[in-house]
Each structure stands twice: as structure tokens, then as C-alpha cells.
Amino acid sequence: MIRINTIEAWHHLLAQSSKQPFLLFKYSMTCFSSITANKELRKLKTNLPIYTVIVQTERTVSNLIESDLDVKHESPQLLIIKNKKAVWQATHYHIKRKLVDEAVQLYG
């Protein structure tokens, strides 16, 4: 997982999504459901890159993602980004390896 912590990095990544879809995981370092979701993602086997945003320390980036994608912020939140859009999302305890595997097959 690669951490996104600047606006510039987010803009670059969003622009690249036209060529390469990716997973974006927004989470809290202190939330139990975020910790559980993070464990599920670490079990995931995918060719899609996975990027992370820690909402406590990258609040500006997190807010910009919400605005750019027109997707209400939740934490934890997992998005598949493709062609500069969020084409799939899951939050909280819906972030399960099996569900993410299925979503990657459909949208990745």
C-alpha cells in the first residue's frame, strides 16, 4: 500500500486513473473498523495498486478526494477509481476480501 499525503500526489494519481485503475483506502488510525478493514486488505491478492489516505493526518487530501469524486466521506472507505471516477465503494465492515475481489473483477 502506498500512502497519499499531498494534494499534488492525489491530482497525479487521479489523472493516471484513465490508464490504470486503482484502489483507494481512506481510514482512521484509531478506529476499530478501520483496523479490521486494513487487515482484510492486506489479505487481498490483486494487480491493482492500493493507495491509502490516513484521514487524521491528511484531512485536506481526504476532503479533496470527497469533492473531486463527489463521494461522501466515510472512514474506513475503500474505492475503486477508474477514469477519474469512483466506480465502486465499500465502507466499514463491508470491506471484506471476498467482496473486494469480486469488485476488482467487475471494475478493475
pLDDT, residue 107, reads 86
Beta carbons of 35 and 90 less than 8 angstroms apart:
no
Average pLDDT over every residue of 80-103 = 93
How far apart (Å, rounded) are the C-alpha atoms in residues 68 and 51? 16
Q: What confidence tens digit (pLDDT) does each residue in 48-65 have?
A: 999 999 999 999 999 999
Domain regions of the chain by residue span: 2-107
pLDDT, residue 63, reads 95
How far apart (Å, rounded) are the C-alpha atoms in residues 100 and 55? 21
Residue 31 or residue 78, greater confidence:
78
Question: If you average pLDDT over every residue of the chain, what do you get?
Answer: 93
**Topology (CATH) of 2-107:** Glutaredoxin (3.40.30)
Given pLDDT bands bounded at 50, 70 and 90, which one contains residue 19? Answer: very high
